[in-house]
Structures are given as C-alpha cells and as structure tokens.
Structure 1
Amino acid sequence: MASKTDLRENLSLPIFENTNETELFQNQVLRPILKLQNDIYILIFKDYAFRKTSDFDSLTTVQKFDFIDQSLQKDNALRNTLIGITIGMLILEEIKTYLSDSKSYNKRIIAMLSQRIKSQIK
C-alpha cells in the first residue's frame, strides 16, 4: 500500500542558503499536498460559492477574487475544512512540525489556496 508521501509529486523547488525551516516545510510538504488535493479544494470551493451566492458565475473576475479572499479569511468552517484536508495528508513527523507553528502554517496554506483557487476559477 502506498504511503501518503508516495502519493505526492516531488516539485523540485530550489533551496537557497537563506531558506528557513518554515519555507522548506512549505515547499517540500505543503505545496505537494496542495497540488495532490487540488481537485478536492476546487470542488469544495465551487460548492461553497454556489451555496453562498447563486450568481457566482456572473460576477466579474475582480468580484470573484474578492469573494474568494473574503470567504477564506472570514468563514471559519470553510477555512477549517480546507486546512483539515491539507493536514490530513501529513505523516506523523510532519504533523509534529506543523503543530510547532500551526498558526503560521495555516496562514501559508490559506494564502497558497487563495492563489490556487483564483488561478482556476474563471
């Protein structure tokens, strides 16, 4: 049976001398998980958007981006769901790292998801 880490794609992002531990974790663990779980995030967000505003498709791009930002910042249930999908793919050692600074990692997860959703929702 494949492990959680076997499912993730190696993104081969560059590592610089001044790259800190948080950035390494983001690039080596969180980004591959976000890529792996991408279809789930998009499906959940689209469902959320259409439940909250039935005319989501008719919004301008700027309005959609504002809606995405506001939703990810203010709707704790949505945030917690998306963060839960992400941390559910962590292994024990990664969970320990995540728990050492969960507030910072959650901000990074939401920021990356915001960009990811914006780039795919037209």
Structure 2
Amino acid sequence: MSKEESFQNSVIRPVIKMLHDLLAVHFKHYMATKKLEFSQLSEKEKTNFIESSFNKDMAFRSEIRGLVIGHFSTEEFLLYATMQRGINKRINTILKERISSNRQNFVE
C-alpha cells in the first residue's frame, strides 16, 4: 500500500465521515448560492451538476477540501504537505463520490 493510500484510509476517510453533516449543509448552501433547485433536476442533470462543481468551480473545490484539511492534526498536515497534489486528488474524488452517492441526504 502506498503512503498516499495509507494516508487516505487512516486520515482522510475518517475525517470525511465525521464531517458528513457539515458537508451536506455546505453543499445545500452552495446550491442556494447558485439558485439551483436540485430536486427539479433529472438524475443526469444532478450528476452533471456535481461533476461540474468539482471540475470547474475552483473556489468550491478549494473550500470543501479546506473543510477536510482543517481537521488534520499538525503531524497529519505535515505529512499531507509532502504529498499534497496526490492527496488533493484523493480528497476531491472521495468528496465527489460521497455527494453523488448520498445526494438524497444533501438536498433534503
């Protein structure tokens, strides 16, 4: 197992799990700022919106990733800093998957 994968499993996933409710509120707020009625979209449009949010909206992507990074301990952050690029990709992928697979919880 690579260092990045180990860090993902031991640090990132538990932090994201802990932040589930906050991520839901944050995504709802993000949709409100976009004046988007998520429940009115088709499943394909919902998927496209989530993908677009992570792929094109750098401010959103940085902000939601910052929620996760902000919960690292000093030691975890120092380790993160040594492999930041790869870890950022992993964080984005996990967050995108979590929002997509739990979309009903993120739009109630």
Instruction: Compute the TM-score of the two structures, normalised by the length of structure 2.
Output: 0.90
The answer for unaligned runs of 5 or more in structure 1 is 1-18
2:34 alignment counterpart:
52
What is the rounded CA distance, in whole Å, between the counterparts of 1:32 and 1:104 in structure 2? 18
What is the rounded CA distance, in whole Å, between the counterparts of 1:81 and 1:62 in structure 2? 25
The answer for unaligned runs of 5 or more in structure 2 is none
SS in 2 for 1:54: coil
Task: Give, in angstroms, the shift of residue 25 of structure 1.
Answer: 0.2
Alignment of 1:1-122 (within 5 A): 19-122=1-104
**Deviations, residues 67-103 of structure 1 (Å, cap 9, x unaligned):** 0011011111111111111011101111111101111
Contact 1:49 1:56 in 2 (8 A): yes
Task: Give, in angstroms, the shift of residue 54 of structure 1.
Answer: 2.7
What is the rounded CA distance, in whole Å, between the counterparts of 1:119 and 1:53 in structure 2? 22
Task: Give, in angstroms, the shift of residue 104 of structure 1.
Answer: 1.0
Contact 1:50 1:56 in 2 (8 A): no
4+ runs of 1 displaced by more than 6 Å? none
1:16 alignment counterpart:
none
Task: Give, in angstroms, the shift of residue 51 of structure 1.
Answer: 2.2
What is the rounded CA distance, in whole Å, between the counterparts of 1:53 and 1:60 in structure 2? 16
Structure 1 residues 53-62 or 21-30, which shifts more? Answer: 53-62
1:4 alignment counterpart:
none
Computed over aligned residues only, the root mean square deviation of the Cα atoms, in angstroms, reads 1.1
Instruction: Compute the TM-score of the two structures, normalised by the length of structure 1.
Output: 0.80
Question: Which protein has greater RCO, CA pairs closer than 8 Å, 6+ apart?
Answer: 2
What is the rounded CA distance, in whole Å, between the counterparts of 2:103 and 2:35 in structure 1? 15
More helix by share: 2
What is the rounded CA distance, in whole Å, between the counterparts of 1:119 and 1:46 in structure 2? 15
Aligned length: 104
